Amino acid sequence: MDLADLSNKPKILKKLEKDGVRNVLFTDCLKQRDENIKKLVPMVLEIIETSNRFNREENRNYCLMVIGVPNVGKSSLINSLRRTNLKKGRASRVGGEPGITKAVLTKIQVSERPLMYLLDTPGVLPPKIESVETGMKLALCGTILDHLVGEDVIADYLLFSLNRLGKFSYVEKYDLQEPSDDIQHVLKRIAVKLGKTQRVKAITGVGNITVTIPNYTAAAYNFIRAFRKGELGQVMLD
């Protein structure tokens, strides 16, 4: 929730309830101690005990699966539960891009009493994304590998979204004079500010020369990363 706009919390809860999801916790797994993480195991126990378990009724060892879209923080949640309940370090590899978890791993213990294990899983997406804009939002949030869409395309959509929502913090961050809808201009300013340049050969009428130009790909990557880290403000992509 460190990257979420919590002013929209009621709206989020209402949408989830409409979809049939009623047991919701907002967690921040980057914190060493998060109060809502402590509530997770008791909540899960209550859900299990009020559900039919049939032939597993006497079994007090619980094994659950963690599922979600890519890069949403499933492995971070498991590590946070281990840190909170067992005082142990991380057991599941994490990273700032989708596809870090490649396969369903072995059971990872996250609680002693009750004895509870979690299975980390690769991220899943619907087989068909309903629209181009939905796909762009997913790409912007890092659920699809950047190079599959194109850093420049994602950066262009990000700039469009920021301007549409009136979020102009990028202007001051990258020393622009005013908001702009020209992604090439914005990326050039980012490249200049951060020293992201590259040397290329240019063919002229008098021979080849080497020139220094802005590295637009590196600038786009930095722009996107700044958004994902919350450095451009909280943005609600509804």
Written as tens digits, the pLDDT of the chain (238 aa) is 777 778 888 998 999 999 999 899 999 888 878 888 889 999 998 888 888 776 666 767 788 888 888 888 888 888 888 888 888 866 666 555 555 555 456 678 888 888 888 887 888 888 888 888 888 988 888 888 888 888 999 999 999 999 999 999 999 999 999 999 999 999 999 999 999 888 877 776 677 788 788 899 999 999 999 998 888 887 777 6
User: What gap in Å lies between CA 154 and CA 173, rounded to an integer?
Assistant: 19
User: What gap in Å lies between CA 32 and CA 46, rounded to an integer?
Assistant: 25
Q: What local confidence, expressed as pLDDT, does residue 174 receive?
A: 93
Residue 227 in contact with residue 158, Cβ under 8 Å? yes
User: What gap in Å lies between CA 28 and CA 91, rounded to an integer?
Assistant: 18
Q: What local confidence, expressed as pLDDT, does residue 57 receive?
A: 65
Q: What local confidence, expressed as pLDDT, does residue 110 receive?
A: 84
DSSP, collapsed to helix, strand or coil, labels residue 128 as: coil
pTM of the entire predicted model: 0.67
User: What gap in Å lies between CA 118 and CA 163, rounded to an integer?
Assistant: 41
Residue 40 in contact with residue 27, Cβ under 8 Å? yes
Residue 111 in contact with residue 42, Cβ under 8 Å? no
